């Protein structure tokens, strides 16, 4: 057992019952993420990347195997306990920013902290700190519609780590951005991961970005295996 892994999947299975057959997506998937590690998940559409992320992020329960956060098994947690772990220990970034349009960038980053129970003043101070770190502090009072795509995604990243999670799960976080903006957003995200020591798993089709991470994995027949992208 890898006691130092922040997130560990051990022999995880996940299947879906379709009309006339059972679709097996994960067939004993194993993965361990260490503190401060960035892992790229590169696989074709339909291979099970979203299922893997949803299971690792406690959005779906595995049919077999176990998901561990900081060495603690999550399979027997109640729905309330799983919600608490998702809120406190796991950050999510998606291809689309999913910011709340009626709130400013600052308020979007404050909201997860307020839900967790932090005092407003403390949440506001941390939100400012994160937006400054993501080099978007001067845009704190702007609403999402007033921000560029890269700015929106940097706010989404700041929101994802507002509660100081242990793990960051990202599903094509730069998929809607041009190459220069993608690189800029990735650099800010990488600096955040290295500084905070959280573990990060990125599903991406961008081989150039994948090669900048610590290692690259893919999915084959429901398992997670090393991957060497084309040059």
For the segment 34-62, what is each residue's pLDDT rounded down to a tens digit? 999 999 999 887 788 888 999 999 999 99
Nearest-angstrom CA–CA distance, 196 and 74: 23
Residues of the chain under the 50 pLDDT cut: 1-3
| Residues 156, 127: Cα–Cα separation, whole Å | 12
Does 195 map to a domain?
yes
Residue 153 domain-assigned (yes or no): yes
- Domain assignment present for residue 54? The answer is yes
Nearest to 48 by CA among 211, 202, 218, 168: 218
Distances from the Cα of 65 to the Cαs of 55, 86, 129, 152, in angstroms? 11, 19, 39, 37
Domain that includes residue 210, residue range: 7-226
Under 8 Å CB-to-CB from 19, ≥6 apart: which residues? none
Q: Hey, which residues does 67 pair with through a beta bridge?
A: 9
Neighbours of 3 (CB within 10 A): 8
Residue partners of 31: CB distance under 8 A and separation at least 6: 7, 8, 9, 39, 52, 56, 201, 217, 224
Q: Is residue 2 in a domain?
A: no
pTM of full prediction above 0.75: yes
Residues 6+ apart with CB under 8 A from 88: 116, 163, 165
Please report whether residue 144 resides in a domain: yes
Q: How many domains does the chain have?
A: 1
Burial of 120 (0-12, 13-18, 19+ CB in 10 A): exposed
- Bridge partners for 90 per DSSP: 167
Residue 56 in domain: yes
120-133 and 179-196 are packed helices; what angle lies between their axes, rounded to 10 degrees?
130
The answer to whether position 128 is within a domain reads yes
What confidence score (pLDDT) does residue 24 get?
86
Q: Using CA atoms, how far apart are residues 95 and 204, in angstroms rounded to an integer?
A: 10
Which CATH number do you get for residue 222? Answer: 3.40.50.300
The 10 Å CB-count burial string (b at 16+, else e) for 171-204 is bbbbbbbeeebbbbbbebbeebbeebebbbbbbb
């Amino acid at each position: 057992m890898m006691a130092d892994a922040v997130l560990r999947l051990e022999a995880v299975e996940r299947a879906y019952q379709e009309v006339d057959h059972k679709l097996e997506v994960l067939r004993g998937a194993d993965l361990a993420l260490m503190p401060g590690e960035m892992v790229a998940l590169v696989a074709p559409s339909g291979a099970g990347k979203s299922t893997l992320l949803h299971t690792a992020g406690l959005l779906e329960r595995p049919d077999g195997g176990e998901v561990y956060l900081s060495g603690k098994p999550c399979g027997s947690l109640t729905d309330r306990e799983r919600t608490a772990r998702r809120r406190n220990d796991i950050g999510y970034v998606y291809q689309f920013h999913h910011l709340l349009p009626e709130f400013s960038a600052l308020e979007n980053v404050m909201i997860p902290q307020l839900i967790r129970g932090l005092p407003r003043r403390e949440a506001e101070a941390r939100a400012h700190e994160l937006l400054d770190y993501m080099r978007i502090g001067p845009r704190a009072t702007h609403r999402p519609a007033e921000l560029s795509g890269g700015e929106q995604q940097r706010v989404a990243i700041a929101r994802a780590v507002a509660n100081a999670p242990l793990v960051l799960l990202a599903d094509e976080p730069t998929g809607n951005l041009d190459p220069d903006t993608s690189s800029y957003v990735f650099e800010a995200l990488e600096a955040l991961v290295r500084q905070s020591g959280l573990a990060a798993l990125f599903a991406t089709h961008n081989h150039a970005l994948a090669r900048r991470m610590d290692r690259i994995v893919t999915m084959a027949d429901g398992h997670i295996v090393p991957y060497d992208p084309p040059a």
